[in-house]
């Protein structure tokens, strides 16, 4: 299994062990659905995916872009000033 080869901890039946954000024991490696639980339900997989996507989004650096009036974007500095 790829997860084990990457160093992720797994259960005795081969499911990837994850935390409450769906992240495995390998930083940046998230898992969802049937590889995490033996429930085999689409709704469970979708819930896992939503949790993982939120955690990944929140871990990314902030995107300092602000839309211009014409629909384009301006890159913003952390203090709110436009980058040059």
Q: DSSP string spanning 6-64? A: TT--B-TTSPBP--TTSB-SSTT-B--GGGT-S---HHHHHHHHHHHHHHHHHHSPP--
Q: Specify the pLDDT at position 5.
A: 95
Question: Is the per-residue pLDDT at 72 higher than 60?
Answer: yes
CATH class, domain 2-75, is: alpha beta
- Please answer whether residues 45 and 33 qualify as being in contact, where contact means their C-beta atoms are separated by less than 8 angstroms: yes
Q: Which residues partner with 30 through β-bridges?
A: 23
State the pTM of this model. 0.71
CA 39 to chain centre: 21
Residue located via tokens 């049937």: 34
What residue segments make up the domains of the chain, in order of their start? 2-75
- Please answer whether residues 17 and 32 qualify as being in contact, where contact means their C-beta atoms are separated by less than 8 angstroms: no
Residue 4: pLDDT band (50, 70, 90) is very high
- Please answer whether residues 29 and 3 qualify as being in contact, where contact means their C-beta atoms are separated by less than 8 angstroms: yes
Q: Specify the pLDDT at position 57.
A: 93
């Amino acid at each position: 299994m790829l997860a084990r080869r990457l160093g992720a901890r797994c259960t005795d039946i081969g499911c990837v062990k994850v935390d409450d954000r769906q992240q495995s024991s390998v930083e940046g490696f998230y898992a969802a659905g049937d590889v995490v639980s033996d429930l085999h339900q689409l709704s469970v997989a979708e819930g896992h995916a939503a949790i993982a996507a939120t955690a990944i989004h929140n871990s990314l650096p902030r995107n300092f872009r602000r839309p211009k009036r014409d629909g384009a974007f301006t890159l913003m500095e952390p203090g709110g000033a436009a980058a040059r």
